[in-house]
Structure 1
Amino acid sequence: MLMTIAIILLILWVLGLVSTYTMGGFIHILLVVAIVVILVQFIQGRRG
């Protein structure tokens, strides 16, 4: 379920990036990367 939410957020942010062409786009990329890394670590932590 968390992976589905992460994918949806990622898609929404990518759509937002397409419409922006300023430094805000780079900040969105960093936010997406940070959230994905946190989610992956959280999911791997629960399995292990």
Structure 2
Amino acid sequence: TTDQENALAWIPLISYFSTSIQLLHLRLEFAVDKTETKSEFMPQAP
């Protein structure tokens, strides 16, 4: 394979990983928001 073919093969991988990382980041932020609002309303168990 040529270098150009290798570079083209990487493009879908990179876009897939960047998308999944963005989704993961959004899910983590959402989970943090939920736990923060929970701790405001409920006293933390020891």
Q: TM-score range by the shorter chain?
A: 0.5 to 0.7
User: 1 or 2 for the larger relative contact order (CA 8 Å, sep ≥6)?
Assistant: 1
Pick the aligned partner of 1:22 from 11, 16, 22. 11
Paired-residue identity, %: 3
Q: For structure 1, which runs of at least 5 residues remain unmatched after alignment?
A: 1-19
Q: Aligned pairs, how many?
A: 29
Q: TM-score, normalised by structure 1?
A: 0.54
Q: For structure 2, which runs of at least 5 residues remain unmatched after alignment?
A: 1-8, 38-46
Task: Determine which structure has the larger helix proportion and give its number.
Answer: 1
CA RMSD of aligned residues (A): 1.5
Q: Which has the larger radius of gyration?
A: 2
